[in-house]
A and B are shown apart, each in its own frame.
Chain A
Amino acid sequence: MSSTTTVTKPPKARPTASTVDILNNDTARIYTHIHPILVLSLYVFRFKPIVADPVPTLLNTLILLGILQVAYVSVCLPATGTASTPSVVKPGARKKPGPSKLESNVQGRIIPAFLSLLLSTMVGTPLIGIMLILFGAPLTTHFPHTFLCAAHISLLASIPLIYVHGVDGERWREIVALLLPIDEVFGAALGTFMGAWLGAVPIPLDWDREWQKWPVTIVTGAYIGFAVGKLAGGLLFKGRKISFN
């Protein structure tokens, strides 16, 4: 999927990024609302074991989260490069000779989805892990905790982003600089990060609760932020742009 976007690099006349729409079919429209419920239920279901024994449980949960996210992007979202064309298939063009439906699904959706998962785990996780440490995560201890936390944040935020936007450098600058218009994918990513940020708030409180331990609150914040951000980005703020000045 990277070939389409990285090879053709127009010097200046690139189209500015537009909002990402859900694929124009019923399954996509329904599943996009079921997905956050599934993700949250997964987390609620795994919450107690995560508190009790974070490292192995976070790892197990990560696999399930990866599956859910891959399913979500391949069912609901337009893969990178196809964003503007999914709904303009003309009625007569259906019988065109080409790859079978299954084949096109595998090539056009499943493979990009798994590539997103791979990139999100291999590139996103270390970057976010370093960010967590820079923000005050323990430097000398709790490495598995920190990086599993980073992996959860990365899978929540970056799989849909990579799937939709590819790996174009300029596009990613726009993403990081918050220059994209808000949509449900971008909103979910923003929400995940803001939730993780807010998740640090209860840590210092002297409530002596088991769940205050690293990194439970951060992961919890990220999950809630993902769901809220996805909803708000898809409905409330769709198309708006963030302005700093």
Chain B
Amino acid sequence: MDDGESLPTYEGLAAAFAKAKAEREKEEAQGLRSRTVDAKASNKQGELHFKASHGLLIAFFSWILLFHLSGIYLFTRGFLLTRLVLEQKSQCSMSPTALTNFYEPGSTDSGCWHPKSFDKAIVIIVDALRYDFTVPFQPINSYDKPHHFHNSIPVLYETAVQRPNNAFLLPFIADPPTTTLQRLKGLTTGTLPTFIDAGSNFAGTAIDEDNIVAQLRNAGRRIVHLGDDTWHALFPGYFDANLTRAYDSFNVWDLHTVDNGVSEHIFPLLHPSNTSKWDIIFAHFLGVDHAGHRYGPDHPAMTVKLKQMDQIFRQMIELLDESTLLVVMGDHGMDAKGDHGGESDDEIQAALWMYSKRNFFGRTSSKYHKPPSTAKERPIAQIDLVPTLSLLLGMPIPFNNLGAPIEEAFIGASGQDYKNLALVSRLTAAQIHRYQREYALARGLDNNARSSSLALWTAASEAWDSIIKIKKPSQKHWLEVFSSFSAYQIETLSICRALWARFDITSMIHGIEVLAAALIILGVYARGLEGDRTELTPPLLLRGMIGTVLGALSGAVLGFGIPSFPLEHTLVFCTAVGGGAGMLSAFWYIRRRLISPLPNTIWGWVGVIFTTLLSIGFASNSFTIWEDEILLHFLSTFGLFMLLSSLRQTNLTDRALGWYHSILFIILTRVSSLSRLCREEQMPYCKSTYYASATSSTSATWQLAIPFLIAFMLPNIIRSYYKGTRSYQGSAVLWIGFALRIGLLLSAAFWTMDAADDGDWFRGSGDALKTIKVIIAQIVFAIALAAGYSTFAWAAPLLSIETKSKMRAKDDGDPSRHVVSESGSSSITILGYANVHGSRYGLLITMWLLAIILVQKPMGGGAIGLLGWQIFSLFEIVDTNKLSNTPVGPLVLGLLGSFHFFKTGHQATLSSIQWESAFIPLKSIKYPWSPLLVALNAFGSQILCAIAVPAVVLWKQPPKKKGLLGDVAKAMATHLLFYAVINLATTMWAGWLRRHLMLYRIFSPRFMASAAVLLVVDAVGIFIAIGGTRLSFLSIAEVFGWS
């Protein structure tokens, strides 16, 4: 300044120089002029170096993704057992085998495959009726005293002993899981339960397999159902609408409503004037089960309940007519605490009792007249009910049945009718054989797996062929035939059990090991390396890859060489082991750069502790159910920590900005939390707000205001974060101020039309509306991804150059203005310099923000909008508190992503997947777009947060700062580490709690959710986020050069 004043002639020169320099700068910034030759060569080298480092980084993270994929594959292979559901139904007229001269098939009036014995039946389920409740108490030691559950329901035992031809009582063994829903499937289809019945519809619970209820309905029988409403979820619309009474099964504290309701409605139906109105009654009592859940079995309330049941059955016996069969059974037992779901003896041992006014039932031996005193003697399987009931009522045996006919029901009152027994046994076995053949065909199985059962089938068929040649076969001959067919049935059942109902523990453990190894590698890479990660990635990747290839080779050799090792399993596991070993050697190679990955600051510890707490919580069903509230609590806590940390800052601007954004962050978190979709287990302490009501899946009309509000506010909010560093210029103006806003408006229009379509606001214009809204959605996608990516790829850094007189330029001390040249009385400043990386990369976040908001329902769009706001707030907080080197940013993004997963109308249950989001920009299912759209809807929040990760370390960093790419790698690794920990925890818990009551409802879906999230976040983090930094770094280097 002094110079300028003392030498007025020089002033003109300085101004000219400044002007020239500004012009050159500007032209260079716009790519109009090339640089000098030297700089050009070194720049070229810098660019090459960057591209190589970047490519290796992508390769390294892809290698981690491969590791995750292998671990999840191995675990899933052993854990999620699948059974193919065959569509075939048994036909009355199509007997599974030739019936020769014994019977003419095809009439439901006389019996389809076998003469029927009863016209009508009353099938009663007493939920959780354990076998020892029904037999007299027998003390083992002299001091044993009967419990409250003993001797309280004697009617079943009494009738079986006093009138063995009218009744029998047997232990009735359930296949775990012993939950009512799974049990009802087994009791009506005759097959074994698995977690995923592949082919069935995920969203609905209705049984689409062949089953006895469907057979009865197809035969025109009128079916009445009374009691537990689970039946209606399984068999919607199967029951006579006038006579059926369903009751809520959820309230386990209510012992009497269901039972009283059932008995109130069942007795009038038994009255002779009403018996013509129905053919079959299914009645389901819940009181005993609820008494068990609430009080446990050894409680006076249980005595009361059992005595009530006793009374009901005595009354029923009196009212019954001769053509009606009465069946009473428990669907499972209960453990000592009165709960069930697992596979302990007490849980699987239920009771079965059948009664008829006619002399119908028999025993093959006089020893069997008394019912067994414990459930260990002469037990029958629950699936045996299906063929027994089918044949007694003249129905075909359901196609998928694996059970056997119950001896007592077919041997005749004399106990000598082995011919009948052999006939039904042959029919059942033949149906099983037909099913097995179809299953093997559908699944592409070879015959090796079932060679033993095939041999038994051949033997049984030969025995049959020989007996029909004998003129007058003796009882002994028939007994032989019966035994050979039942041997086939038993063998087939045990093969199927091995296929479907057993976890492959080895595979599960290998999966967990691989995931743990990946976690350690990622942990060391994220937090345990000193210095720039881009320097260390090449040796790590090289050794890791060599190990992987060697592992794959040895796996292939082992898998092909040793036939007892399953090929895919061996190959995948050996590949992972090789990769792990390779990485271990790589860590040894760079051992001087290793540091302890354990944190050494409060911030670091907070991150570790919160992640660990969350992971431990997934071992408890309650904490898993309430995960959304826990995440709210954690995020608020982080907000508070950030507030406290901001107040500690010495720089007043940092302090003010920090606490403002921290408070904003906390408030936004709480506001988002108002959007909820409750899962069933959260009731009654949770109120859903995501949809118009708890029973609908459409938005309320007022919610349509949300997308419009977002369209008006969100671009302004984002603009304010750009304006703070004067980065709101160049492409940002066009993109944020115009394209984003138009896109959001169109998205709001889409959801309005969607509501109009759903609500039929404009009668008759449904088709036109559908076409228009699909086109609008496609336009939004075009704006977000096509126009967005073009902008992102070609935009210059968000900078502009200002020449000012020196007096004014000096006094504002604003870091966003970078003074380039200070000669003379004017100075050249670059506006937007302070956040050149952050603002440039941030465009990518806003593009995806638009795409994700479109695929969310209005409420979810609001939540994602708030999430976007929170993400930008977080950048400011991380910057003002100087936390970009800590794990806070990536970790909070992980928590935010998980939190907003719930706020966009999802839960860790299969039923909360919003399948309809596949149809937002498409009219029909198109691969691969439809699954991608569902994923973008389901994991939108995690995707957005993963894309935001690089910006945490790029926000407000100087353009030429060294090692920025390494910082991006570190942040992304930390972010993935969070999800990897959650995934490993839920995987381990699901494996450990595989016999838990709540496995299928809570732990297994949570494991599946976290595995899917991990893979999605891996892919997004690698290809969209790290991939995106390539474009933004290149664009910035165009201006500032490679350092």
Which residues of A come within 8 Å of B, CB atoms? 131, 133-136, 139, 173, 176-179, 197, 200, 204-206, 242-245
Interface residues on chain B, number (Cβ under 8 Å): 26
User: Smallest CB–CB gap between A209 and chain B, Å?
Assistant: 12
B670 and A204 form a contact (CB under 8 A): no
The reply to whether the CB of B648 lies closer than 8 angstroms to some CB of chain A is yes
Q: Which residues of B contact A177 (CB under 8 A)?
A: 644-645, 647-648
B620 and A205 form a contact (CB under 8 A): yes
B647 and A136 form a contact (CB under 8 A): no
B623 to chain A: closest residue by CB:
A204
B602 and A200 form a contact (CB under 8 A): no
CA gap between A5 and B660 in the complex, in Å: 27
Task: List 7 tightest A-B contacts by C-beta distance, closest first.
Answer: A177-B647, A204-B626, A177-B648, A135-B636, A205-B622, A204-B622, A206-B622
CA gap between A206 and B633 in the complex, in Å: 19
CA gap between A242 and B641 in the complex, in Å: 12
Q: Report if A136-B629 is in contact (Cβ < 8 Å); known contacts: A204-B623, A243-B602.
A: yes
Which of B620, B625, B648, B673 gathers most chain A CB within 10 Å?
Answer: B648
B674 and A139 form a contact (CB under 8 A): yes
Q: Which residues of A contact B625 (CB under 8 A)?
A: 204
The reply to whether the CB of B169 lies closer than 8 angstroms to some CB of chain A is no
B633 and A200 form a contact (CB under 8 A): yes
A242 and B647 form a contact (CB under 8 A): no
A206 and B644 form a contact (CB under 8 A): no
CA gap between A197 and B606 in the complex, in Å: 14
B630 and A204 form a contact (CB under 8 A): yes
User: Smallest CB–CB gap between A186 and chain B, Å?
Assistant: 14
B630 and A242 form a contact (CB under 8 A): no
B647 and A176 form a contact (CB under 8 A): yes
B622 and A136 form a contact (CB under 8 A): no
Q: Report if A134-B636 is in contact (Cβ < 8 Å); known contacts: A139-B674, A177-B648, A244-B648.
A: yes
A245 and B603 form a contact (CB under 8 A): yes
Which residues of B come within 8 Å of A, CB atoms? 601-603, 620-623, 625-626, 629-630, 632-633, 636-637, 640, 644-645, 647-648, 666-667, 669-670, 673-674
List 18 interface pairs A-B (beta carbons < 8 Å), by A numbering: A134-B666, A134-B669, A134-B670, A136-B633, A136-B636, A136-B673, A176-B644, A176-B647, A177-B647, A179-B648, A204-B625, A205-B620, A205-B622, A243-B602, A244-B603, A244-B644, A244-B648, A245-B601
B663 to chain A: closest residue by CB:
A134
Q: Which residues of B contact A205 (CB under 8 A)?
A: 620, 622-623
Q: Report if A242-B667 is in contact (Cβ < 8 Å); known contacts: A136-B636, A204-B629, A205-B622.
A: no
Q: Which residues of B contact A245 (CB under 8 A)?
A: 601-603
CA gap between A215 and B669 in the complex, in Å: 21
A244 and B622 form a contact (CB under 8 A): no
User: Smallest CB–CB gap between B168 and chain A, Å?
Assistant: 40
Which of A134, A176, A197 gathers most chain B CB within 10 Å?
Answer: A134
CA gap between A3 and B673 in the complex, in Å: 43
A136 and B632 form a contact (CB under 8 A): yes
User: Smallest CB–CB gap between A16 and chain B, Å?
Assistant: 13
Interface of A is mostly: loop
Q: Which residues of B contact A176 (CB under 8 A)?
A: 644, 647
A173 and B647 form a contact (CB under 8 A): yes
User: Smallest CB–CB gap between A39 and chain B, Å?
Assistant: 25
CA gap between A134 and B620 in the complex, in Å: 25
Q: Which residues of A contact B629 (CB under 8 A)?
A: 136, 204
Q: Which residues of B contact A135 (CB under 8 A)?
A: 632-633, 636-637
Which of B621, B636, B645 gathers most chain A CB within 10 Å?
Answer: B636
CA gap between A139 and B673 in the complex, in Å: 11
CA gap between A97 and B632 in the complex, in Å: 60
Q: Which residues of A contact B623 (CB under 8 A)?
A: 204-205
CA gap between A204 and B617 in the complex, in Å: 11
A244 and B645 form a contact (CB under 8 A): yes
B644 and A197 form a contact (CB under 8 A): no
Q: Which residues of A contact B633 (CB under 8 A)?
A: 135-136, 200
Q: Which residues of A contact B637 (CB under 8 A)?
A: 135, 197
CA gap between A206 and B629 in the complex, in Å: 15
CA gap between A204 and B622 in the complex, in Å: 6
B674 and A206 form a contact (CB under 8 A): no
Q: Which residues of B contact A136 (CB under 8 A)?
A: 629, 632-633, 636, 670, 673
User: Smallest CB–CB gap between A222 and chain B, Å?
Assistant: 16
CA gap between A131 and B647 in the complex, in Å: 17
User: Smallest CB–CB gap between B631 and chain A, Å?
Assistant: 10
CA gap between A205 and B648 in the complex, in Å: 36
CA gap between A243 and B601 in the complex, in Å: 8
Q: Which residues of B contact A134 (CB under 8 A)?
A: 636, 666-667, 669-670
CA gap between A197 and B640 in the complex, in Å: 12
B636 and A244 form a contact (CB under 8 A): no
CA gap between A200 and B644 in the complex, in Å: 21
CA gap between A135 and B670 in the complex, in Å: 7
Q: Which residues of A contact B621 (CB under 8 A)?
A: 206
- Contacts A139-B674, A178-B648, A205-B623 aside, 14 further interface pairs with beta carbons under 8 A come to A131-B640, A134-B666, A134-B669, A135-B632, A136-B636, A136-B670, A177-B644, A177-B645, A177-B647, A177-B648, A204-B623, A242-B602, A244-B603, A244-B648
B632 to chain A: closest residue by CB:
A136
Q: Report if A133-B670 is in contact (Cβ < 8 Å); known contacts: A200-B633, A206-B622.
A: yes
Q: Which residues of A contact B645 (CB under 8 A)?
A: 177, 244
Q: Which residues of A contact B647 (CB under 8 A)?
A: 173, 176-177
CA gap between A206 and B238 in the complex, in Å: 35
User: Smallest CB–CB gap between B662 and chain A, Å?
Assistant: 11
A132 to chain B: closest residue by CB:
B636
Q: Which residues of B contact A178 (CB under 8 A)?
A: 644, 648
B602 to chain A: closest residue by CB:
A244
Q: Which residues of A contact B666 (CB under 8 A)?
A: 134
CA gap between A210 and B621 in the complex, in Å: 19
Q: Which residues of A contact B622 (CB under 8 A)?
A: 204-206
CA gap between A173 and B649 in the complex, in Å: 11
User: Smallest CB–CB gap between A116 and chain B, Å?
Assistant: 22
A244 and B673 form a contact (CB under 8 A): no
A244 and B601 form a contact (CB under 8 A): yes
CA gap between A60 and B674 in the complex, in Å: 33
User: Smallest CB–CB gap between A216 and chain B, Å?
Assistant: 15
User: Smallest CB–CB gap between B714 and chain A, Å?
Assistant: 22
A136 to chain B: closest residue by CB:
B632
B636 to chain A: closest residue by CB:
A135
CA gap between A197 and B638 in the complex, in Å: 13
CA gap between A179 and B645 in the complex, in Å: 10
Q: Which residues of B contact A242 (CB under 8 A)?
A: 602
User: Smallest CB–CB gap between B165 and chain A, Å?
Assistant: 48
A135 to chain B: closest residue by CB:
B636
User: Smallest CB–CB gap between B374 and chain A, Å?
Assistant: 33
User: Smallest CB–CB gap between A157 and chain B, Å?
Assistant: 14
User: Smallest CB–CB gap between A218 and chain B, Å?
Assistant: 11
CA gap between A151 and B91 in the complex, in Å: 73
User: Smallest CB–CB gap between B603 and chain A, Å?
Assistant: 6
CA gap between A116 and B563 in the complex, in Å: 80
CA gap between A177 and B602 in the complex, in Å: 14
B629 to chain A: closest residue by CB:
A136
User: Smallest CB–CB gap between A137 and chain B, Å?
Assistant: 10
A173 to chain B: closest residue by CB:
B647
User: Smallest CB–CB gap between B392 and chain A, Å?
Assistant: 42
CA gap between A178 and B645 in the complex, in Å: 9
CA gap between A205 and B620 in the complex, in Å: 8
CA gap between A242 and B629 in the complex, in Å: 29
CA gap between A178 and B646 in the complex, in Å: 11
B886 to chain A: closest residue by CB:
A245
CA gap between A197 and B620 in the complex, in Å: 19
CA gap between A177 and B673 in the complex, in Å: 27
A133 to chain B: closest residue by CB:
B670
CA gap between A243 and B647 in the complex, in Å: 13
Q: Which residues of A contact B626 (CB under 8 A)?
A: 204
CA gap between A154 and B401 in the complex, in Å: 66
CA gap between A243 and B604 in the complex, in Å: 12
B626 to chain A: closest residue by CB:
A204
CA gap between A188 and B374 in the complex, in Å: 61
A207 to chain B: closest residue by CB:
B622
